[in-house]
Structure 1
Amino acid sequence: MRQPAFAAREGWDSTDARARARALLAMSVTEFRQQFKGSPMKRANRRGLTRSAAVLGNVGTRDDVPALEAALAHDEPLVREHAAWAIARIKRRPADLAPRWT
């Protein structure tokens, strides 16, 4: 039997993990609460999920840098720290070299 709480939320059923990460980074507290109300995702908490999203440095490309730069103003210090790390990692990578995990 399918549980409605575990169904993909509208707009979150994409297989593009980087797009989902960028969306998480841009979410306010209110948007996060509204999007994941009644969802198991809410238990993971916004701070932890957005910190994980900021680890785009492992799989991100230069296309992700604007989202990460915006995250430098995030309300969570841990997210800001990881966004700065990801930006530095992506910018150090040669432009023509894609991450191994994509």
Structure 2
Amino acid sequence: MQLYIVTWKFESSEDQIYSSEAFVDYVESGKSEDHIDGYERIAWAHTPQDGTGVIICKASNASTLFRVFGSWRDKFGMTWEYKPALSTEEFVGLLKEK
């Protein structure tokens, strides 16, 4: 699976506030820990002061990420960016190949 850095941003503070109850339910109900084929969340961090955040995850492809995050975009006006990334070990290996 490919390592990804995923960032999100709310279009407005109203959208962020509107999503709060759904997010609390998502976490407290255990849904945030549900297994999704082709996806593994490694870490997530929230920066609510500006309506953004970051997820570090592994996914089989970008289509999987769209399935994982698409409903949040549809319901709460969030934009998502996906960037393939390298672990430190992968990056060091590439540098040593030079």
| TM-score of the two chains, using structure 1 as the length reference | 0.31
Identify which of structures 1 and 2 has the higher relative contact order when contacts are C-alpha pairs closer than 8 Å and 6+ apart.
2
Q: Higher strand share goes to which structure?
A: 2
Q: Higher helix share goes to which structure?
A: 1
